[in-house]
A = this chain, B = another copy of it.
Amino acid sequence: MRVAFQGEPGAYSEAAALEHFGGGTETVPRESFEAVFAAVEAREVECGLVPVENSLAGSIHRNYDLLLRHSLSIVGEQYLRVRHCLIAQPGATLAEIRRVLSHPQALAQCEGYLRSLGDIESAPAYDTAGAVKMLRDLGDRAGAAIASRRAAEVYGMQILAEGIEDDPSNFTRFLAIAREAVSPAGESKTSIVFTLQNAPGALFKALSVFALREIDLTKIESRPLVGKPWEYLFYIDCAGSTKDAMMTRALDHLSEYALTLRVLGSYARQRLDSPS
């Protein structure tokens, strides 16, 4: 099984892919999210795994846009707890570290920890795993990078500290995408995107199709459509699969109100109370 992800080997996306598809998976790095979608479409890989939501940073609209633009299906979800490590050369000690390199978002998420180290200079990098790779290539003993445990392993570097993020409730939700939709057995989720005329009560009517059938919603998000001030785009995740008759009826009912409706896929549900 080949799975594409965005970033360098050792990226959090790669860790999520291995968690989701299992250790024997062949992970295939791609430069951009767009390239991940393109690789799935062109059959270079069987699946792709892309982040769509971080508990601190919010939804990643870009990947929802790409889902809309490509005719692929969501076939799974994976929550990954983001556990940042301080990574340095083998043999280096914490006392030697003078510089810390990482993606600006990772540096911001470890601000408190970095302050506690005293006089440390921090420098921005494109991505977390790339910072570890750069550090290894430089061989700089006074430098450290913030990245995943996996990044340290991939580049043969040393972990000086683990779990250094200021807010421990930092997790990212990833979606697995493939060319063919799946029919999940057991507890499942369905993701849809639809647009509504902007009128009082329009969303209430739309949600009634789920509430009247006691279908639970697990995510809802509105997004104004730029250039179309009277239309709104909504993302909804709901409990259940499109192979359930109740869900099919709810979606038929919704299409009576929605200007456009697209089912992105049904897939096995991972409970957020047990993120890995």
Q: Which residues of A contact B (CB under 8 A)?
A: 32, 54-62, 65, 103-104, 108, 111, 124-127, 169, 171, 198-201, 203-205, 207-208, 210-211, 214-224, 226-227, 229, 271-273, 275
> B220 near A200 (CB under 8 angstroms)?
no
Choose one: B57, B104, B199; the contact of A126 (CB below 8 Å): B104
A258 to B55 CA separation, bound complex (whole angstroms): 21
Could you name 11 residue pairs across A and B whose Cβ atoms are closer than 8 Å?
A56-B62, A57-B62, A59-B59, A103-B104, A104-B124, A169-B227, A200-B210, A200-B214, A204-B204, A207-B207, A219-B222
- Pairwise interchain contact A111-B204, C-beta atoms closer than 8 A: no
| A99 smallest CB distance to B (angstroms) | 14
Instruction: List 7 tightest A-B contacts by C-beta distance, closest first.
Output: A229-B273, A204-B211, A169-B226, A58-B59, A201-B211, A200-B216, A200-B214
- Write the chain B residue with the least CB distance to A214: B200
A213 to B228, CA, bound (A): 25
Closest to A203 in B: B217
CB distance from A271 to the nearest CB of B (A): 7
Which residue of the partner chain B has the closest CB to A222? B220
Apart from A200-B214, A229-B272, 6 more pairs, CB < 8 Å: A32-B111, A58-B59, A58-B60, A201-B211, A220-B220, A224-B272
